[in-house]
Structure 1
Amino acid sequence: MESSGARRGRRRRPSRRRPLLHTALAVVAVTGVTAEGTVYVKARAHAGAAAVSSAATPAASLSAAASEEATVTKAAVDRDALLSEAMATVSVPSGAEVSAAVLAVGSGESAGYGEAAFDTASIVKVDILAALLLQAQDAGRQLTATEQAYATKMIENSDNASATQLWHTIGRADGLDAANKRLGLTSTSGGDGELWGLTQTTAADQLVLLRQVFGDDESQLSAASRAYVQGLMGSVETDQRWGVSAAGDAGSWALKNGWLARSTTNLWDVNSIGRVTVDGTGYLVAVLSKGTGTQAEGIALVEAAAKAAVSAFTGE
């Protein structure tokens, strides 16, 4: 540590240098990561802080000296590591794949597992509706009665014919891709032609979409548009209330699921995205899967992964 300059007394006593004591702390080193995913960092006195006068009281001097010499340990949680540990406990059927992403609404902390692209199946219907609402906002208009009817059936009942109608309204893949560029989805590509269900996406991108739908004023969607999508996702028909809802408290969900049997392999894509609440804390959760032998097997995988994702924050 640097010393202050010497100061001479009136009787010309020999000069001597007195160290200045500093109070500011700065992080200087990362010292380790525990198995629980906690990163430990050390902090010590920073040389750029204000000096403590040599005329300070003994108690103040001792306190300052203690703060200078003490090493302070702070903890930051590695959520990605915790999520990886939690996902390691999920039983994934042979040949299947799963990816998950989660965000704690209050703190803004997030975690992701897996970077692969998956078919959206019907979860793309939320994206289609977001694109439609953006286009309506740009035009300064409300959705027409017909568009609202299609949107309701598309989200609440997962009606494919309604989705196809709105897919055409937004301009199919080009319209979806243009909207996603504004929404911040960087790894999602609209399906070819009429195949909106084969839109490719990642769990991380679906988390971005959920933040647009359930976020605040920073969203590209207006407050009215967000409330509209949230209301529909909170009213899906009874037999479609599986998926990420398994990770939250009863009745706390707003979601959209997707399921698709691929004709080329006879294997299933099963996905779920939405918002859940656990003990008063909201979480945005996206889980994508492919390669399960049955829809039921895919649902079980998605629900187990959703619970694991949330446990990275709750520890349960």
Structure 2
Amino acid sequence: MKRLVISLPTRFRRPTLAVGGALLLGGALMLSGCAGGAAATKDDAGGGSSRADHQRQLTDAVDAYVQEHPGLIASVSVRHGDETLDYGTDHRYQTASIVKLEILVRWLMLRQDDKLPHDEYQLAERMITASDNDATSHLCQILAPKTKKDAVPGGTDACVGDSTWGTDLTTADGQRQVLQAAFGTTLLNADSRAVVKKLMGTVEPTQDWGVSAAAADGEKTWLKNGWDIRDNGWITHSDGVVDAADGHLIYLSILTNGNDTEAKGISHVEELATITRDALSLRGRAFQASVADSVGVVDDAPPRGPMVRIG
């Protein structure tokens, strides 16, 4: 029998489990008796996992992560295809700089019927790519007398009537709706959506963190992050969209509070991004633990990029 070697991306390596005469890697069942050594998974076989399975995976995994980090408060909302998963979306957070995406959408709605004013575009560019606060306040002053309440689904009504922003309260599912509004066809025309993608796709390297951790190799990410210090620690947020390899966009908002430092907050957000991506495909520690209870863990995946040999 020929030997089949399957190599997975290192950022998604998973423990290897034994199930009878087969191997299980990250939720994928590798059968030694398959013709030609082919690998079979529940989804590939046509059974498909349910939204309830994915939601359970997300809830269990985030619960476990939060319990491992006392003081951390976290919320997640993700949309992939026709499936939405939520965790902690009843908790409200100050927006900090993630509100700048809502402000961008408001500005594009106001200007998209004509050529975008160059000076205003420069403000919008600095607001998103560099998270420039002065540029944001200037743009907000322009919008204040013109933008309408409830114009952006899930939004906070930033810049409506005055030029204040960043301290309004939001939820993860609200921010996920803002992402969908920014990339969808209901509010913005094709040119405006292209502006959104251009700016969110070119944030400064020091701000390219967060939701991007959920992307596999070769998958494009557009994002806007927010961070600030509060009495109980750092709030650290990431809103973004991943162009998944399956052809569907992943809209993902991760909001956190109670972080000891900005760096620790970024680390938490990126771990939660990976946990969320795992939940969409039933991979990760919580799912593996439930399988391990019944089948037993054999060993960890090899350090360098996990290989499974069959046959």
| TM-score normalised over the length of structure 2 | 0.68
SS at match of 1:213: helix
Counterpart residue number, 2:211: 244
Amino acid at match of 1:276: V
> Which of 225, 231, 239 is residue 257 of structure 1 equivalent to?
225
Amino acid at match of 2:72: A
Measured against aligned partners, the alpha-carbon deviations of 1:160-188 in whole angstroms (never above 9, x if no partner) come to 1101111111108x94x62xx233226x3
Amino acid at match of 1:88: D
Task: Mark the runs of 5 or more structure 1 residues left unpaired by the alignment.
Answer: 1-72
Contact 2:106 2:151 in 1 (8 A): no
The 1:193/1:277 distance shift into structure 2, 3 A limit, reads same
The 1:260/1:74 distance shift into structure 2, 3 A limit, reads closer
In the TM superposition, residue 94 of structure 1 has moved relative to its aligned partner by 2.1
CA RMSD across the alignment: 2.4
SS at match of 2:65: coil
> Which of 59, 62, 65 is residue 84 of structure 1 equivalent to?
59
Measured against aligned partners, the alpha-carbon deviations of 1:22-76 in whole angstroms (never above 9, x if no partner) come to xxxxxxxxxxxxxxxxxxxxxxxxxxxxxxxxxxxxxxxxxxxxxxxxxxx9974
> Aligned equivalents of 1:305 and 1:211: distance in 2?
20
> Which of 226, 230, 242 is residue 276 of structure 1 equivalent to?
242
Contact 2:238 2:253 in 1 (8 A): yes
> Aligned equivalents of 2:173 and 2:153: distance in 1?
11
Counterpart residue number, 1:122: 97
Counterpart residue number, 1:9: none
SS at match of 1:269: strand
> Which of 58, 65, 70 is residue 94 of structure 1 equivalent to?
70
SS at match of 1:303: helix
Is the aligned partner of 1:287 residue 2:263?
Answer: no
Is the aligned partner of 1:144 residue 2:112?
Answer: no
The 1:189/1:118 distance shift into structure 2, 3 A limit, reads farther
Task: Mark the runs of 5 or more structure 2 residues left unpaired by the alignment.
Answer: 1-46, 284-311
The 1:259/1:289 distance shift into structure 2, 3 A limit, reads same
Contact 1:155 1:256 in 2 (8 A): yes
> Aligned equivalents of 2:266 and 2:111: distance in 1?
34
The 1:136/1:293 distance shift into structure 2, 3 A limit, reads same
In the TM superposition, residue 284 of structure 1 has moved relative to its aligned partner by 1.1
Measured against aligned partners, the alpha-carbon deviations of 1:76-102 in whole angstroms (never above 9, x if no partner) come to 431433321221232463222110011
SS at match of 1:158: coil
The 1:189/1:292 distance shift into structure 2, 3 A limit, reads farther
Contact 1:99 1:287 in 2 (8 A): yes
Counterpart residue number, 2:86: 112
SS at match of 1:235: coil
The 1:209/1:171 distance shift into structure 2, 3 A limit, reads same
Is the aligned partner of 1:204 residue 2:177?
Answer: no
Counterpart residue number, 2:266: 299
SS at match of 2:64: coil
In the TM superposition, residue 303 of structure 1 has moved relative to its aligned partner by 0.9
Amino acid at match of 1:153: R
Counterpart residue number, 1:232: 199
Amino acid at match of 1:147: E
Counterpart residue number, 1:183: 152
In the TM superposition, residue 147 of structure 1 has moved relative to its aligned partner by 0.6
* Structure of greater Rg: 1
> Aligned equivalents of 2:164 and 2:208: distance in 1?
25
| Percent identity between the two aligned chains | 33
Contact 2:51 2:83 in 1 (8 A): no
> Aligned equivalents of 2:62 and 2:232: distance in 1?
26
In the TM superposition, residue 193 of structure 1 has moved relative to its aligned partner by 5.8
SS at match of 1:89: helix
